[in-house]
Amino acid sequence: MHEYSIVTALLEQCEQHAIANQASRITKVVIKIGVLSGVEPALLATAFETFKLEGRAREAELEILHQELVLECQACQSTHTIKERSVICPSCHSYETRIIEGEELLLMQLELETDE
């Protein structure tokens, strides 16, 4: 399960941001997961709940934003947002497409608190 290593890296990144901003707590972590990222959102959420128990993120809420696939067709010059995992242009059925969005796993927002 590579979600465990992803969550470990995510929590380390959150801790570094918290330290840099002199925060005592991380209250919310918002990530965006693309449909082609290779990450299973449910497994990632479970791993987050398991590994957050130490450090500043122990009470943090995880919010997952799901990014659909955005394709740009080189053949017909169209752009499409699609829900399924397909790289075929829905307009002209060409395979000459470029993925614009949908492969990423990004930390989008981090809410921090200080003791002051």
Nearest to 101 by CA among 77, 79, 68, 73: 68
Q: How far apart are CA 11 and CA 52, in angstroms?
A: 7
Helix (H, G, I), strand (E, B) or coil at 33: strand
Distance of CA 17 to the CA centre of its chain: 17
Q: State the pLDDT at residue 7.
A: 96
Residues annotated in a binding site: 2, 73, 76, 89, 92
Give me the pLDDT at residue 69, please: 96
| 57 vs 111: CA distance, rounded Å | 10
Check residue 83 and give its pLDDT.
85
Exposed e or buried b per residue across 63-102, where buried means at least 16 C-beta atoms within 10 angstroms of its C-beta: ebeebebbbebeeeeeebebeeeebbbeeeeeeebeeeeb
> Which residues fall in the annotated binding site for Zn(2+)?
73, 76, 89, 92
Angle at CA of residue 31, ends 23 and 15, nearest 5°: 25
Q: Which residues are annotated as a binding site for Ni(2+)?
A: 2
**41: CATH:** 3.30.2320.80
pLDDT attached to residue 1: 54
Structural domain containing residue 81: 2-113
pLDDT in single tens digits along all 116 residues of the chain: 588 999 999 999 999 999 999 999 999 999 999 999 999 999 999 999 999 998 899 999 999 999 999 999 999 999 999 988 899 999 999 999 999 999 999 999 999 999 86
The count of domains in the chain is 1
